[in-house]
Amino acid sequence: MAVVLNLDYETAKTAQRIIAKSQGNEPSDVENLATKALGVLQENGVYACLLYLYSRTNNTESPISQIIRQELLALTELAGKKSPVDGAETVLKFINENICNDLETLLLTKKLWEQTLIYTRYGAKARGVQ
């Protein structure tokens, strides 16, 4: 019997972890970075999204970017791929060789990341209202 995963639940849970881990940051900063990363993902794809997140090096965005990257990379396990978590070069090579080269895996990963970033945006906005 095949195991059936509720992917919406998994993406919501991942977004909740991002929000919880970013408690020390301004909600608007988390929302803005998630929104920008989502835009890059939708316009340019999975690889570009990671490049964008790795390029965030200022004091405000860097810690948030690291949290988002780690959580998005953890979602690759749902596509049957276990991503390394450290080192931009290692991670980008993994994404290119294991995610981007397989259309089905690429589309699943993109969908999972999109949903997670959408939930993260609204989760950060909701946290800012409390």
Structure tokens at 50: 């990671």
pLDDT score, position 84: 85
Any domain includes 87: yes
Residue 101's domain comprises 10-18+26-129
Summarize pLDDT for 77-121 with one digit per residue, the tens: 988 888 887 789 999 999 999 999 999 999 999 999 999 999 999
Any domain includes 4: no
Summarize pLDDT for 43-85 with one digit per residue, the tens: 999 999 999 999 998 899 999 999 999 999 999 998 888 888 7
What is the mean predicted confidence (pLDDT) over 18-31? 95
Any domain includes 98: yes
What is the rounded distance in angstroms from the CA atom of residue 126 to the CA atom of residue 51?
27
- The CATH number linked to 121 is 1.10.520.30
CB < 8 Å & 24+ apart, contacts of 29-34: 29/60, 29/61, 29/64, 30/64, 30/120, 30/124, 30/127, 31/120, 31/121, 31/124, 31/125, 31/128, 33/61, 33/64, 33/65, 33/68, 34/68, 34/117, 34/120, 34/121, 34/124
What is the rounded distance in angstroms from the CA atom of residue 127 to the CA atom of residue 130?
6
Any domain includes 1: no
Any domain includes 5: no
Any domain includes 14: yes
Any domain includes 104: yes
Give yes or no for residue 130 having a pLDDT over 70: no
Domain count of the chain?
1
What is the rounded distance in angstroms from the CA atom of residue 55 to the CA atom of residue 48?
10
Residue 1: strand, helix, or coil: coil
Any domain includes 124: yes
